Amino acid sequence: MLSRSSGDRTLPTLITLLVVGVLLMTFDVRLQGGGVVGVLRSGVQSIVNPLQEVASYVVDPVADMFESLSNVASLREENLVLREELAEAEAAIVAVQDQLARLELLEQLYEMEASGAELGRTVANVTGRPDQVALVIDKGTADGIAPGQPVVDTNGYVVGTIEHVTAGSATVVPITAGPSGVTVLVGEQVGTLMPQIGSDDMRLEILEARGPVLVGDRVVTSAASVDFPAGLPVGEVLFDAAPSLDVLNSWVRPYFDLDTLRIVVVLAWPPDPIGAVGGEEPVGVTTTTLTSVPDEDLGE
Amino acid sequence: MRLRAVVVLGLVLLLSLVVQTTLIAQLRYFVPDLVALIVILTALTRIRPEAVLGVAFVAGVTVDLVGSTLVGLRGVVYALVAYVALRTRDRAEIGRVFTALWAGGLTLLTVVLLVLIGLLFGEASVLGSQVMERLITIPLANALLAALLGPVLVRAVDRDTTALRFT
């Protein structure tokens, strides 16, 4: 046990550290991750991320092997299901190719030009999970990644947004843990998805609700969202719910699975973040024109 | 604090941080908080108590900086837990089982403080989605590791092969 002699400076040291810690937290909240704290974060991540990349290069195959061994009984069954899904997906591709050819023909007939609205995509590996919340990926500013860009998984399901970026890495905060909600579209109704403490599911709130939502209804990002391009699949409704005094509340289970994410795709959206921030055109005009169709138009 | 102890402790903390964010992050049921465990076990070494608090704070802030949580949150929590560890460390020196129980209890204090202080500063999801599950699994895993690794770490840092040699 420590003695409480006059030479014991443990308590003053602790108090000093607590004050410094609270000041750091306050700075981080007030500066919203930027400023000195942002520089510190980038510096530390630049040092640790190469080590994480090396470690994950070694760890991932081993983890995969153990995962496969533990699931060996169900692998055969899973393979059969996957084969069926593959056959269905190939049939769907053929159907889409037919539709694309038809679309191209119609565009030629009406003398329409391609909008050039294709989003840039950067595929990145998940190299670390620094806490139980965020993901670290192996692409950074050198690859065109910028804070705020949307991140989806390989199926195109919304995962989250980029929070911090260094030259060779970036931190992704999932929508289930982010501080702000996601503006979404359920049918023709615009609502907000909010993360919940201790849950992978998200609360759906629709103000000015006009109709019910049903179990399994698909939830996609809305054109009103400032963080995501419109139309990205987010999840599905978990419970039937009807409006009460114009407000509707339900729950949504996101499609993405944080535990199994190894590869993600970062979307270059807004397409020109520098122009969007400092240029002549406002952000909303740029993004809407190039990437999305307003909800009203979708509804018609 | 001696230079050798600084180097050993620094390397162990860096290694535990990298392992925590890569290997441990992929495990489902065995999810220790390695950095918190090293901080707690540091209290058993002969390093000056003020230095132990400093190490705990710096380790916590580093974890915050690598991750996405509020910078300083883990620094504050680890410093508080290190202080409690210093005040109660004689209980851990009775035997290996007591070391495990002591480390497990302090880890539980760590995760509870992380959740509570995190909530105060708006960090709602500091432990991820399975908060209740992690309140149990993290202390249990740390207790097990403390029984296995505690004496080894103390001997390595103090360069004393007789440290924590329970009979």
Which residues in B lie closer than 8 A to residue A59 (C-beta atoms)? 22-23, 26
Query: Model confidence over B24-56: pLDDT tens digits?
Result: 877 777 889 999 999 999 999 989 999 999 999
A-to-B residue pairs, Cβ atoms closer than 8 angstroms: 159
Mutation target to probe the B interface, by most B beta carbons within 10 A, among A70, A132, A259 is A132
| Spatial separation of the C-alpha atoms in residues A82 and A80, rounded to whole Å | 5
Which DSSP state fits A119? P
pTM of this prediction exceeds 0.95 = no
Cβ-count burial A140-174 (b if 16+ within 10 Å, e if not) = beebebbbebbbbbeeeebbbbbbbbbebbbbbbb
**Which letter, b or e, does each residue of B70-90 get, where b requires 16 or more Cβ atoms within 10 Å of its Cβ?**
bbbbbbbbbbbbbbbbbeebe
Helix (H) or strand (E) holding A164: strand A158-165
Nearest to A159 by CA among A195, A131, A188: A195
pLDDT at A115: 55
Higher pLDDT, A141 or B133: A141
Phi, psi of A184, rounded to the nearest 5 degrees = -130, 170
- Partners of A160 on chain B (C-beta within 8 Å) are none
Q: Is B80 in contact with A200 (Cβ distance < 8 A)?
A: no
- Among B128, B106, B118, B38, smallest CA distance to B72 is for B118
Beta bridge partners of A235: A219, A254
pLDDT at res. A296: 41
Mutate which: B18, B22, B76, vs A, most A CBs within 10 A: B22
Beta bridge partners of A120: A268
pLDDT band at B105 (very low <50, low <70, confident <90, very high): very high
Whether the bond into A174 is cis, omega within 30 of 0: no
**In this complex, do A10 and B25 lie within 8 Å of one another by their Cβ atoms?**
no
Find the residue in B nearest to A45 (Cα): B66
Record the tokens describing residue B42, joined without a space: 């540091």
Determine the 3-state secondary structure of A218 from DSSP.
strand
Residue B28, min C-alpha distance to chain A (Å)? 9
The half-sphere exposure of B163 on its side-chain side, counting CA atoms within 13 A, is: 20
Helix ranges (H only) for chain B are 3-22, 34-42, 49-66, 73-88, 96-120, 131-158
Cβ–Cβ < 8 Å for A206, A186: yes
Q: Do B76 and A18 touch (CB under 8 A)?
A: yes
Under the banding of pLDDT at 50, 70 and 90, the label for residue B166 is low
Question: Which of A17, A26, A45, A256 best probes binding to B when mutated, by most B CB atoms within 10 angstroms?
Answer: A17
Alpha carbon distance B60, B12 (integer Å): 14
Helix (H) / strand (E) element for A257: namely none
pLDDT digits (tens, 9 = 90+) for A195-237: 887 778 888 999 888 888 898 899 999 988 888 888 899 999 9
CA dist list (Å): A18 to A27, A31, A52, B85: 14, 20, 29, 16
Given an 8 Å threshold on Cβ–Cβ distance, is A198 in contact with B76? Answer: no
CA distance A172 to B63: 16
Under-70 pLDDT residues of chain A: 1-7, 33, 67, 70, 73, 113-118, 271-300
What was the pLDDT predicted at B82?
96
List the single best residue of A25, A49, A71, A202 to mutate versus B (max B Cβ within 10 A). A25
- Distance in Å, alpha carbon of B126 to nearest chain A alpha carbon: 7
Q: Is B1 on the interface with A (CB under 8 A)?
A: no
Task: Report phi then psi at A183, rounded to 5.
Answer: -80, 125
Q: How many CB atoms are located within 10 Å of the residue A234 CB?
A: 28
Backbone angles phi, psi at B62, to 5 degrees: -65, -45
Assess whether pLDDT exceeds 70 at residue B110.
Answer: yes
* B54 has a chain A CB within 8 A of its CB: yes
The continuous run of DSSP H or E covering A250 comes out as strand A248-254
Q: Which of residues 124-143 of B touch A (CB under 8 A)?
A: 124-132, 134
